[in-house]
Amino acid sequence: MLTITDLNAEFAKLSLLRGRTPQTTAAEREEKRALARLMPYRDGTVFIAKFVGSGAWERHPKGDEIVQIIDGTTTLHVIRDSLSEAFTLGAGDFDVAYRVVLKQIAPRVLNSIRLNLKAVMLFLFAGEMIASTDGLAYRIALLRRHMGMDVIIPYVLWVALLLFLVDLGMRILNRRLHPWFTEA
């Protein structure tokens, strides 16, 4: 179900929590009305907060973290596998989208290209058989007219071997670049 929320109106309802520290409790944030739940999202919730100071961000290893700065700047520390990266974010800054989100979608994009390569080759062969004057599919079409099966079968096996090797190479590349990725 699609929910439309007016962020300006929701931010207007919040009070500014000044001097936030890692020791600031949830009760203090709620008492100051500096944090609000906007809507459910997947198996979690979308929150907004209005604060000044420094504070710890709770990590959700099985969930998505989206941080957008509306006004001012902040330093976001991303800790993964005992490696800490710090990002300084400002209003409208989508640096995290490129550094974090791209790492999440890159293996899926590479896998989609690998899976669609078979259909691409099928259409390439069909096009070569119909309207080309060279290429493996054109040669197969010529030899088919003369019943040259002794040449057609090695051509088909050669193309199948090439596609298999490209597919295998792309799988290995995806595993090396993204060892955490598993195909669904």
Task: From 50, 80, 99, give the residue that closes a domain.
Answer: 99
pLDDT at 112: 92
Cβ atoms 162, 125 nearer than 8 A: no
How many contiguous H segments (helices) and E segments (strands) does the chain have?
6, 6
- Out of 83, 99, 115, pick the residue that ends a domain: 99
Going by C-alpha positions, the residue among 135, 140, 144 that lies closest to residue 155 is 140
pLDDT tens digit sequence for 24-45: 777 877 777 877 888 877 677 7
Whether the pLDDT of residue 144 is over 80: the answer is no
Euclidean distance between CA atoms 10 and 13, whole angstroms: 5
Predicted confidence at residue 113, as pLDDT, reads 93
Residue 141 has pLDDT above 80, yes or no: no
> Structural domain of residue 105, as residue ranges?
101-177
Is residue 67 situated within a structural domain?
yes
Residue type, 30: E
User: In terms of domains, do 24 and 79 share one?
Assistant: yes
Residue % of the chain over a pLDDT of 70: 77
Kindly report the backbone phi and psi dihedral angles of residue 6, in degrees, each rounded to the nearest multiple of 5, phi listed first: -85, 105
Q: Would you say residue 144 lies in a domain?
A: yes
Determine, yes or no, domain membership for 156.
yes
pLDDT of residue 134: 80
Confidence at residue 99, expressed as pLDDT on a 0 to 100 scale? 62
Q: Is 19 inside a domain boundary? A: yes
Give percent of the chain with pLDDT exceeding 90.
12
Q: What is the mean pLDDT of residues 73-93?
A: 70
pLDDT, one tens digit per residue, over 86-116 is 777 776 655 555 666 677 788 889 999 999 9
| Cβ neighbour number for residue 19 with a 10 Å cutoff | 10
Q: Are 21 and 53 in contact (CB under 8 A)?
A: yes
Are 84 and 11 within one domain? yes
Q: Are 73 and 88 in contact (CB under 8 A)?
A: yes
